[in-house]
Every structure is written in C-alpha cells, then in structure tokens.
Structure 1
C-alpha cells in the first residue's frame, strides 16, 4: 500500500473537516427548516379547516334566520294553509330577493314542489333533498349541501306549522366559484370542494387551476418529502381533506392545500448562501492549508534528503533546514547530533570489524583483505604464523585475565616489528614483514618474542611454534595461504626447532591425512572387514604363563592399503571421531574375549584409551553394557593410558580414572618414563600397573643407563604397590635381567608378535613358551 505524503494528509484533513462541517450545517438547517415548515403547515391546515367550518356555519345560521322569518310570517302560513299559490310565490320571491337567496321553495309534506323560484326544483326533488325533507318533518328543520343539476347549494329546510307542520320551506345559497375564492381569501389557502353523487360525474370547485388541482389532490394525506423539497418545490403542495357532508349516495369533500413554493423559496436561498459560504471557506482553508503544509513539509523534505545522504555515508555535509517552528529546529539539531554520533559509531564499528578487540591487531577478515590486495598486485611477501604452545594451560594456571595480558603484550611486540599483524584465533598470531627475512632472522625474532612476560610479580614464559609461507611462490590465493599456514604450523609443533617453512611435501602429507580421515569415517559408518584387532600376549614372569594381552587395532584399507595406527589414531582424535573408533574396538575386544572363553582360554585384555576417551562420561556405562550382553566378567578387561595424556589435566584424569577403577577394571600407565610425570599426581592415580617404555628395554642388556632407568621405575612401582610391565623384550638376556630386577610382566617379539584372534588361539595351543627355560633356570 502506497504511503500518502504529509502535504496530502494535511489537505485531506483540512478539506475533510470543512466539508463535513459544511454538510453537517446544511443538513442541520435543512432538517430544522423542514421540521419547522411541517409544523407550521400542519398548524395552518388545522386553522384553515376550523375557519372554513366556521364560515359555513355562519352561512348556515344566516339561512336559518332567513327561513325562520319566512316560516313565522302569519300571512305566509295562511297562504300555505289555503294553498294560495300566487301569495306563496309572491312571498318567496320577495323574501328571496331580500336575503339574496339562490333557492326559495315550498314543498309539501309528501315531497311535491308547491312553489319555487328555482326552475330545477319545479321538475324534481333530489334524493338528498328528499332525505333532508324527511329530517325536517321529523325534527322541525334540517340543513345540508345538495347538488342540484350541476351546482352545489347550501340549504336549510324548516316546517311551516299551523300549528302542526303543513309544508316545508327551502332556503339555499349556491356554492359557486366566487364563494371558493372568498374562502381562499379568508384562509389564505387553496380550497377545493368535491361532490360525489352515485351515478353522476363528480362536481369540483377549486381555487386552483386544473393542472394545479392534480398535484394538490395527490398530496392529500402525504408527509413532507425531506429529500425532495429543497430541490423540486414547483407545483408542490401539502393538502388536507375532510368530509363536509355525507348521505347514502352523496359525499362532499373539502380539500385545503398550501403551496410550498413561497414557504421553501427562502429556505432554498438560505441553503444556497450556506453552500456558497462553505465553498468559499473550503477554498480559503485549502489555500491556507497548502501554505501551512509547504512550510511544514519543506524542512521535513530537506531533512529526509539529509538523512538519505547520511545513510549513504555522507557524514560531513552540514545539516541545513529552514526551521519555522521550535519542533523543526529541535529535529534539525537532533539530525546534526545523529550525524555526528553515526559517524563516530561507524568508525568504531569499522575498527571493530577490522581488528581484534583484545589485541588491537587486525582480525582474520581484514588480514585476508590485505593478503588479497597483495596477491592481486602480484607482490612478493612472506607470512609468518606464531602459535603459542599449550596456551590453554597458561589460562588454566595463571587465569584468563593474565592470559589475555600475555596476548596483548605479545601483540605489541609483533606490532613493533613493523609490517602487518593479526590475531587469527586463540593463541595464533600472524605477521607479514615489511621486507624479506631469512630463517635465522625469524628464529631471532622468536627469541625476542619469547622474552618472559612479567605481570604483577608473575613471570610467564611463552613458547612459540612458527610457520613460514612465501607468496606467491607457495600460495597464490588467500585460501591456499591459510590452509598451508595451518599445515606448516601443525608440522612445526612436532619439530625440534618448533619452526617449519612450507614445502610441497607437507601438502601431500596433509592430503593423505584428509584421505585417511575420509576413509576412516566411511569404515566406521558401515559394516566392514577392513578394521581388525591384533593381540600381543603378556607373560607373567613368576608363573611363566601368558595371562594377559594388549589389544592393538590394524587397518588394511582397500583404497589406501595398510594404514599405521600411529597415523590414523591421532587423525581420529583431531577430527573428533575417536569415540566411534574406541566404541568399535571395545565391542570387538569383548566379542573376542567371549569367543576365547568358550574355547577355554582365560585371558585379560588391555585396551588403549586416549584422553578424549577418558573424558567421555558415557564410556563407562557403554563398556558395562557390552560386557553384560556378552556375559564377560569385568576382570577380563583393563585399560592403558599414555603418560602424556594423563598429564594434560591430571586432576580431571584422576576423577575419571577413579570411576573406572571403582567398578573393577585394571588401569595401566603406558610409556612410563617418556613424559614429565609428577610424583605428587602419581601417588593419587588409581592405576594398577606401570608399563616401561620399549625405548628403555630394547637395548637393556647392553645399556647401563637403560638398566638404571628400568631398575628405578621397578623400584618406584614396588614402593607404590604397582605391578610393572616391560614392553619391547626381544632377547633372553633382557628377559633374564628383568626377572632379576623384579619385573612382573614382559611383552615383546621375544614372546610373540601381535597376532589375530585365530592365531592367538593357535599360539596358546601350540606354543612352547620361552619362559619355560627361565623357570627351569630358577629351579
């Protein structure tokens, strides 16, 4: 829906209000005048009816007086009694001339005309006159209006008594057009008299013309038509009719009509004047409204254009709007403040969008734009990525506030090197030098960056891994640059110098890892035969029997061939699918233990767990469930964890290990002696075994240092009440020495290579244990 302009709205408001006001006034005047006219006309008709009846009554009284004088005359009575027609006629003529009567007659009681000066009565007595005659005989007199021939007469009939009635005298006046005009003059209204006698044409007397009579008679009994009166008042009448005389076959009506033209002519003129005034007022109001709207909307339109410029980023044009009111002036000032605030806020937002809030270095997106600009300009430049090793432990040890302070200090040092610097995420910082630098300069730069950071009497040492990518030699797109930086920094973290310059072989290794990860996900999500478990027995030196074994996973991929666990297990940990892999291993190992139990082989199997597995709160419940499904005792299963994994978060590791140990599973620390174990943590760890790393056992028979280390570990284990397992035993001399040092278990190629489950059964059934020689020597 299209929005209306303010200019239009003001016009609409002003014009609409005036229009409604004018129409309301016109309607009010119209209705009030009409109601007044209706009341006035109704009252006038009622008065006219009363006056008309009084006039007729007056004429009737005059007739009565005239007739009474006639019938009281003694000579007239004697003439009637003697039937002296000449005398009777003479008296009637004289009396009629004296009172200007139109009808003078004497009628016998039987209805015969005795004498009359009215020619029509010499021939017949009308039915209406005969009816009045009977009324006069019985009542002594009667009055009425009768039609004789084609004229109307108001008559009075009185009996001639001598002393009883001997005849009836008739005196009458004609109701003629002049009488109707006389009534019009008296009532000031139009008069129409209608006579209707059966079998005769109606008789009509009226003060109106023939055409006017039609309109007037149609309006008899009708109310005012309010909607038509002001517009069609010509030949408009309001009429009232009443019955003047009635007999069986004779009805005489009188219709009183008032011409509405004079009544409403002034009213219509008043309406016209109101309409003209309203039209002029509306025109004037619209003109003034246009001026007002222009004064109001002009500055608003100017401010709208300024707002549009501001929305397009123009924060420097001065806000100019002609203020004709305090409100517009306030709005203009508000626009100026808004413009300044938006300018400042956009600058702040732009800075925040391009920079890392903590370090004030560029963020990843801004440095990516800078890289793209350099690549598009075909510039040669180097990119160095710094990664703070084990930065999480800095936060955990010294707190996040001190960790943030370390990042800020390191960022300032990098910015001091010149060029461009950015923080990518966490503890990763990127630097683009202004000039080309050598490997030696990069290493020297790291040395200055790693200077201890002192915060509130705390000295914090940061260790940095570094990766170098040269553009466009090593990467000609932003995407390649960041991917290859990640590849190089990951490699650098495993180098002695903690430094790695990118080369193509790293990409190949990275792609291989991706292929391994892709295939591993497929293998774990489908039923397959590529993954399998191998088992390496552990020999109990004291009993000379293989009572334990270590479970080792093998993968022969149809697509990749044999994939070493040392390659795909770390990849699974990094990709977050180590849980699925561990779940598959546990289920397969438990199934194999159940199969061995059915064949009489009693063996405890150790499964290697990663730090991710130990942190999985659902692991323990799943293991117990799988054991119950296969009807395998918990004592047949144990777990091994590497020393380095345990030391990442000893407190959390101890809590999880206690939960595993409390339900009856054995626990061993694998590769003991290769990490940086803390004895304070070791004494709290609920482990049952220490596994001596094979790097100390392979040359045990000839290396004195290895012998001292192994001897120390065994003594330490015995002090803590732990059993020891030596892995990597490959000759009898090493086995003999371990026996003398008090080692509990041995594991290595000298006993058996890792073998498949079926081969392990065959080994148990057919083997000749080398430990038998040891037992014989001891005996």
Structure 2
C-alpha cells in the first residue's frame, strides 16, 4: 500500500502496531479469563466442599451437645434404671424437638429389655426396619474405634447420626441423634457457598435416587447419570453439560459402603462465571476501535494510556489464576477500563476476604484468637511426621482450668470469657518461639513442643503453672485461677496423634485428681489398660470378699495426752499381691466409682467396731473419710442413719472427714449434704486444711466442727519458720471460728511441745502411734496410759 505522505505512513504503521498489540492483548486476556474462570470455579467447588464438611461438623457437634445433655440428665438415667419407657420416650421426643433433629434413639446392650437378639431400641418416632442394624453398627464402631459419628440410609432417606454414651458412671447405653440429609441442608449450603447442591444416594444395589437438590427440572437428570461413572473412574471433578450450559461439578463422597452410598454434588456454572468477562472483552474491543481514531492525533498518549491498564489486567488475571488474591489495581480512570480495573481489584479482594474468613472460622478460636482443635490436630500430625523423620522427641501439654464452672456461675460468662483471654495470653507468654499453642475445648488448652523431652516439658509446664499463682483482676475483682497440666511425649508414650492426645489428657486428669498442678503420663493412668481392668475386677471382688481391712490411728489431746477419737483408714490385703496401700487403689476407685462402695464398707465396719467397743466401755468416736462422690450423694444422710439403726449406736459414735477440694467440686450439692449431716448431730471435720481452694468466706458457712492441719505444714515446722507461722495462724483461725484443731503428722517431741504451746487441741502421728488394725486397738489403749508421753503430760498438768 502506497501512502502520499510520511505522516500517513507513520500513522498507519502505528495504527497497525497498536491494533496488533490490542488484538494480542485481547486474546491473552480471553485465554487467561477462560482458564482463570475454570480455576476459580474449581476453587469455589473446593471451598464449597470445605464449607459443606464444616457444616456437617457443626450439625454433628449440635447433635452431640444435645445428646450429651440428655445422656447426663439425672431424670433420664433414673428412667433407664427403672425401665420407665414412657419417661425415656418423652425425654427423647423433647430433646429431639429442641434440637430440630429428625430421629432420636436410645440404645442399650443390657438386658433391661429382651428381644430375639438381646437388644432393645426405644425411639422418639417411628423406626424403620433398617434403623436397628445401623444404630448397632454405629455403637459398635464407637466402642471399637472411638468414632461417634456416622451416616446411614433409612427407607431411601440418608441421615447424619451421632452417638453419645450414657454413663452412671459406667456406660449403660447410648443416645443417638440424627438429621436428615434433605433440601434444608442443600439450601443452607447453597446460601453459604453460592453453589448448586444435589444429594444422590443408593442403597442395596438399587438405582441412584435423588435425595435433595437446588436444581430443577431436567437439570437433575444430567446429574443423576453421573455417580456410577464417578465411582468407576475415581474422578471427583468434571464438567457436565446441563441445558447447553457447562457446569463445573465436584462429587463429594459422604457415605461409601458396600450396601449404601451417598454423594453431595456441588456445581457452578462456568458460562455464568465467564459471562461478565465476555462483556468486558466487548467493551475492550469498542475502546480499541475508538482508540485507533484518537491514536492518529496523539500516538504516544493513546498507546500508553490504553495499553497500560490492559497489561495490568493481564497480570492480575495471571495472579488470580495462581491463587494470589492480594494483588490490586490502583487507577483514577473513570471510563470502562477503570471500571474493569476496579472490578478485577474488587473481585480479588472479595475472594481474598472470603478465603481468610473461611480459614479463620475453620482453624481459629474467635474468643482467644488462638488456633482451634482442628488446627492443633493438623499441626500435631505434621509435627509428628517431622519428628519421626528427624528421630527427635516431641512433647505436648493439655491444660485444663480448675473450678471454672464456679467462676462462671459467680462472676458471669463475660468475666469467664475475659479470664479465658487472659489465660491464653499467659500461655502464649510462656511458650517458646517454636512452640504451638491452641484452645482445643471450652477451658482446655494445648501446646506442642517440638524437639522436647518429657523431662524438659515438665520443667516448662511447672513454669507455666507458676504463672497462675498471681491472681487475675477481672471487673475490679481479684480471681485466683489455677490449672492442671498433663504431659505426654512422642515416641515414649504414644506414636500417633490420637493416642498422644488421649494420654496427655489422662495425665491432666491425674494432675487434677491429685492437685499437683503438672503430671507426666504414666501407664497406670490408663483406665483401659489390662492392669487397670484387672484391678477393677479385683477391687470389686475385694469389697465383696472382705479383703479390705480397717486400720485406725488415735487422735490424742495435746494438752492432756488422753485419747479423744480415732481415724479409720482402709487397707487392702490381696490374697496374692499382699498389702496394697490406699494411694495405689483409691485414685482408681475414685475414677471408676468404686469409692462409694469402699466408703459404705468403711462406715459399716467403723459402726461394727464402735458397737463392740461400746460394750467394753470404750466410747471413742471414729472418723471416716468420705469422697467427692459420697458428698454429692443426696442419699448419704439416709444411708448413715440406717447404719446407726443397724448397729444400735448413737450419732456421736461416728464422725466424717472431708477435704476442701471435695467441697469445691460441687459447692451447692456438697453444702446441702453437709447441712443434712450436721442436722443429724454428726460431727464434721475438714481434712488436709490448707491444701485446697476454699475461701474463708465460704469456710465460715460450712457446718463443720473441726479443722485438720495438713501434715505438709507440720513435718517441717521445727525448721521452717514460715510453716510455724502458718500452723499458728490456722490454729487461731479455727479457734476464732469456734472449731477444734487437729494436727496431722506429729513425729517427735519437739513438734508435740510446739503444738502444745500454740494451743492446738489434738494431734495424730507416728510419735504417738502408727495406724494399727482395728482389732489391735483394745491392746493399744491398755498400754497407752503407761506410755512416757502420757506420764510426762500428766506430770506437767499436775
């Protein structure tokens, strides 16, 4: 082509150049948009799957919480024990309605009810014929693998189920709750993810059936032809043509067993995803033609002004394609290209915000801003894999706050939330840079310590425990918060995350029971171990077979050296293992509930000996220790009254010793029991005073008659001035409250004399007498009057 002027030729060359650049840019943008749109659709489907699984987890948690409430309900368990079908059905119906559940079942393997296969199922609504087998399988799976969640198809309708054990304190049955997988769930997921949702299922080799869908009409038929092909090809993602439109589809397997299958089909229209960009391409074409005319006037300005935003958009599209949503375009243009730039920028910001929000909801605790249990388990799994490769040890902490329920009841939930935030900050402040801290339950925190032994972990845990010694100031009130910490290490205690977490929790509960603050896991804590299972059987036989022996230790009046009373102590003489001391079986008895049987045996044995000694004119009260489980038993006063009548002894023959911590576990019920016992004129004593958590304000409300100073303050008081001051202050406190004071652990004359000067009322310890079999008491009392302690004291009195 010939041009008459250079200007025309230059203009033509640059026009061709700019048009070529624009055409190439448009093609690149189109290809990038197509690719990005599909990638975006696939990403939305993946995010939709996460949201769906999270939604199922929320449903499961809601069902679990509701089932747990019913499982621990006292009236419900009473109904089970009394075979009250009507009450159980009413309770199941009520809880089902409160939760909005579609099915509720109580399952028991005991013989309260008898059928052909020794199982009975009671339900709040009509039971389909295949419910029983599914419920049985769920319970057996929960007992075997610890998985309390399941899906099942009843009468061609799928359900999401959870099972919760009913314990009293051993498992006596299971409460099963369930939701239907239906249109409600599909619409909820559609609202959250903006995806089309379809549920398809198949049971017992039948044809695939539609369970629920947000699609309509013939669109569903295209989805229904796919499940078999998906299973055969093992492909989860594919594109499906529905009504001439291309849909990105993701098949999520919910239930996949030989006889039952359930899929969630998540879909997003690729055509709809690319439609906005096609309009933008048309706009770009119009702008390109317009720019060609303007370019003849100002080549440089037009080329720079037109191509730069397009280049920016291409870069943004590529960044979006790679999953980088942080990119943004800054422009002050007001035309279509400016709108396009801002649209791209807004789109990337919206996707980034949605991704962060979903990630935070899935992996972080909103209250403390710490990672949650899901995040903790993912990190623990990764840390264990690294530790296994590097052959390093790894330690975890499980921290549980003590008495938090009482703090919540007294100060309110807002104060409780603030305490949890402060506790989270304390734990983070103690953690090292490489440690990982998470909140895994209501008042339970966890920490992963990479490349750390259990010994080093114990030292760090003790430092963390000390950080709780300072009170926390909440709403102008000083609150004492303490914690129990359990420690377990890889590979010493466990080699996978589930067992490691379980054993750390066992150690934590052992620390809570013994009030030592921190404890490293020991196999004796494992209540499911063969040793402890054996002990459970042996302990039950010991109680029934009279293998237990009652020992007594005298309490001596310090001012007079006269015997004032006796404390009853339990010993176990095993036919093969010999003597087993209380610290070896009492903690286990408290965990299993056998402690109540031991307490009942001790009360009867003390009453029997009291009856014998009364006939010999030996009238000395016998103090029996009772546990937390005994103290919250509202029938304890009636049981003791029955013992008085059986052995024909009066209320002065027995007294009861309780610990501070047993009172504080459930103050309301404990105080009610103590008031009833006090009303029966039974003397009450607080044992191990000074080691528990009770406040003076609460102490003065208790109907007790005596304080026993813990031996940890007595043993070293002759060398430790601080212990001496604590003992003197405790004696003065007890007397000011009108209580008698008893000192434990007197082992020499020096301590005896110090206590006498301090005005302590009574004492017990090896200096006067070791614990002895109750059968030896008569011989001991005949020798006591001739002892040097007695004579010396009588001489001083004279």
* Structure 2 length-normalised TM: 0.48
- Structure number with greater Rg is 1
* Structure 1 length-normalised TM: 0.49
